[in-house]
Structure formats: C-alpha cells, structure tokens
Amino acid sequence: LERQLLMQNQMRERQTAMQIAWTREFLKYFGTFFGLAAAGLTAGAIKKKNPGVLLPIVPLSFIFAYQYDMGYGTLLQRIKGEAENILDTQSTLLELPKGPLTYEDLEKIRRSQSKFFIEK
C-alpha cells in the first residue's frame, strides 16, 4: 500500500510538472502574440486616431496575466490553499450524490449492463 501511495504521489507530481511546463511553453507563444497584437493595435489606434481600437488589449491582458501567474507566479499555491480550505471547512461540497460507491452498487451496475449475466 505504501508503494502504491508513493507511486500515485509521483504520478501527481509529474502531471503537475507537465502542466506547469506546458503553461510556460504556451506563455512564450501567447506572449509573442500579445506583444505583436498590442503593438499593432497601438499603431492602428494612433494611425486612425481612435483609442477604441485598443479595446481588444483588455481581455488579452487578462489571459496573459493568468498564464504568467500560472507559469511563474503563485497561482498554484493559491489554488492549493483554497483546496485545503475547502477540505477543512466545506467538506460537504465534496460528497458524492447518493453517497460513496460500494461494491454492491458496482455489482448491480455490472449486472444491469451485462447482456450475458443470468440471475440465479
């Protein structure tokens, strides 16, 4: 059991590392897109003398800030803290509908889905 727990924790850590690495890689591409879009929109706003052209920068900046916080900031620590708070103070939100799944429930489902099962 201890080995299984260690293996599960290692898999979770590797998946989290992959998620952070993916976010950092995505941030490189999105950051380049955001920079080019901001420069282009700024040039367009100056050329047309219309500051409304800059409006798309607002949602793009929120996306950029979120991705940066996920890849290099403290977002994961804040998410972890909130998850711990939910586990400690609001555990009723985590309850499964109809309670936890039991072996008997699984057998009932298996029997109902089996075309070849004959009840004795």
Cβ distance 16 to 23 under 8 Å? no
The DSSP line for 34-61 is HHHHHHHHHHHHHHHT-GGGGTTHHHHH
Cα–Cα dist 41/47, whole Å: 10
The rounded average pLDDT for each run of 10 residues, N- to C-terminus, in the chain (120 residues) is 93 94 96 97 95 95 96 94 95 89 89 71
User: What pLDDT was estimated at residue 1?
Assistant: 87
Cα–Cα dist 57/63, whole Å: 10
